[in-house]
Amino acid sequence: MNSSHGKDGKIVIMPLDERPCNYNFPYELGKSTDCKVVRPPLEWMGHKKQPADTARLWTWTELECLRAQGAVLSLDTLLYGGIVPSRLHELDQAEIARRMDQLRQLKEQNPGLTLYAFQLIMRCPQYSSSDEEPDYYADWGREIFRKGYLEHLDEEQSLDPAEQEELSDINARLPQEVLDDYLGRRAVNREANRLALRYVEEGIIDFLIFPQDDSAPYGYTARDQRLVREAIREKNLGLRVYMYPGADEVGCTLLARMVNHLQSAVPSVYVRFGSVEGPHIIPAYEDRRLYETLKYQIIAAGGMIVSSESEADLVLLLNTPGEKMGEAVNQGKPSANYDTERTLVELVEYAGYLLDKISSDKQAPEYPPAASRHNDSATSPARNRRPVVAIADIAYANGGDLELLSLLRQRGILYRLAGYAGWNTSSNTLGTVIAQSMIHVHYGMTPDHLNFLALRYVEDFGYDSVVRKALSSGPIQELGLDKFLLDGPRGQVSRMVRQGLEQFIHDHLQQEGHSIRIMDCYMPWNRMFEVGLTVHAD
């Protein structure tokens, strides 16, 4: 990698929170690079609704950035103490401004620092639950969302009588103190979003992402997003500030962008879909067609879409639904379109075809690849090698496609991919696999790459699509527990999860001379939705 000004090739990461997707994924991807990637100690990161010690994190960030080449910072962590505390805090605008002004010191003390940041626009869930929201959201969450939705809709088009009656009923019942607390916090956070743009204008933040954790077309969040978009346009910051669906993958995205920046490279990406309608579907939990978000995900990571395989450093294959995205938990009984309106076999055969050509092409070394060999002409690397191949598994939300896993094993290419992901939302998956495969473009098939690939297989296929469902529909309840309240991060449930995953590995992932060992397994937020895993690929 390029180095300058005597710095040590260090990238500083401030995660969005302590969950593995935010705390571990970018750090683990960084292990495949020749950068020194650093993050705060886990015990400093807070826990769910308990905010991190922001003063301590700012001090750590300032010290680590003194001799760093780059930093990827979650502003929500540095301002509020994490993603959930950003929805619960009691801070005023003056304190937010004081905290954010510490960004200025980072650049003053190290003018050569490249600083990337991301900041959420406060979400407004459509359901009543206080799991990640204020306590009153358990009773009034649905009403808060519907009030914002209907009022916004009324501004755009008049409400019909039923909608007007619903809004009047909510206004009569929703306690004023609840609404005041919620809207007051939104106002503070909205000003923090606007303030971040000022730091981009001044050149303190070099690149900023506003990920859309909430993509409803109307409501409080949609209004705030519109105001931010207008401000981006007014300030002519459209090439330095992006806004698109996502959240928990952005740390990975910005790490990949930083690596590409330090390599003076723009990886070229050829995309291919598993269904004709794939580019046009609107993924679950998102607000626009898949292809529009995909373009943002690629350029946010520092890449560029090209029109053919022959131009590409990376071929990204997308396993897409035929018409509408369903949930992974229901894939045992899919609708007819999952079988008739997509051709998964062709996608896997194409992946195998490309990988076989790579293996047979004795003239093209596996790495270092074109994009990092030709730093003086990174946007037009020489075409003397085959592209690497990655798969974004977005046929279902919240888990991997088990039929895809079977076909990859049949074709013998499970451990030859430059990247795979199939977790949570489409954007979470896209950002993760794009980051992993772009780093692979530069550094090849490292042991750390294989470990992260194995982690995705165990978690996205094994946990999300099999073990979580199996344990959540009976065994958890038999222990007297609930999937939202388990027996601790390392209790009986975590042991049951580990046992189930070890069986899954034995049945589905041990082949081609590879095996996977689980080194650690825990439940980060004491619920079934996510799992914490450390795995090793042998």
Give the CATH number, domain containing residue 270: 3.40.50
Task: For residues 401 and 319, give the distance between their C-alpha atoms in angstroms, rounded to a whole number.
Answer: 8
Q: Is the peptide bond before 217 cis (omega within 30 degrees of 0)?
A: no
358 shares its domain with 326: yes
Any domain includes 132: no
**pTM for the predicted model, two decimal places:** 0.94
Q: Is residue 429 part of a domain?
A: yes
Q: Strands 419-421 and 314-319, how do they pair?
A: unpaired
| Cβ within 8 Å of residue 503, ≥6 positions away | none
Within a domain: residue 529? yes
- 203 shares a domain with 107: yes
Judge whether 131 lies within some domain. Answer: no
Between CA 183 and CA 300 the distance in angstroms is 31
Query: What domain range is 350 assigned to?
Result: 265-445
- 69 and 216 part of one domain: yes
* pLDDT tens, position by position, 443-461: 999 999 999 999 999 999 9
**Is 413 a domain residue?**
yes
| Same-domain status, 198 and 72 | yes
- Decide which of 231, 261, 291 is a domain's last residue: 261
Token pair for residue 528? 């079934």
Say what the pLDDT of residue 362 is: 43
Q: Are residues 409 and 376 in the same domain?
A: yes
CA atoms of 298 and 310, how far apart (whole Å): 18
pLDDT of residue 364: 45
Domain identity same for 171 and 273: no
Same domain, 154 and 94: no
Q: How far is residue 293's CA from residue 427's CA, in Å, rounded to a whole number? A: 7
Residues 418, 477, single domain; the answer is no
Same domain for 226 and 323? Answer: no
Q: Do 472 and 425 contact (CB within 8 A), yes or no?
A: no
Q: Based on the domain organization, do 102 and 63 belong to the same domain? A: yes
- Overall domain count for the chain: 4
Residue 338 lies in a domain: yes
Looking at the DSSP assignment, which residues form a beta bridge with residue 271? Answer: 316
Between CA 496 and CA 502 the distance in angstroms is 10
Question: pLDDT at position 366, please?
Answer: 46
> Of the candidates 261, 291, 324, which is a domain's last residue?
261
Q: Are 56 and 101 in contact (CB under 8 A)?
A: no
535: closest CA among 466, 463, 469, 436? Answer: 463
On whether both 435 and 465 belong to a single domain, the answer is no
For residue 431, being part of any structural domain is answered with: yes
Looking at the domain assignment, is residue 4 inside a domain?
no
Q: Give the pLDDT score at 8.
A: 63
Mean pLDDT, each 10-residue run in order, the chain (538 residues): 53 98 98 96 96 97 97 98 97 97 97 97 94 97 97 94 97 97 96 97 98 86 94 97 96 98 97 96 92 97 97 97 92 77 96 90 48 41 69 97 97 97 97 98 96 98 97 95 96 98 96 91 97 97
**Do 527 and 485 form a contact (C-beta atoms < 8 A)?**
yes
Q: How high is the pLDDT of residue 380? A: 36
Same-domain check for residues 302 and 375: yes
Domain end call among 413, 445, 477: 445
Q: Which residues lie below 8 Å from residue 424, measured CB to CB, with a gap of 6+?
A: 21, 248, 397, 398
Q: What is the pLDDT of residue 388?
A: 96
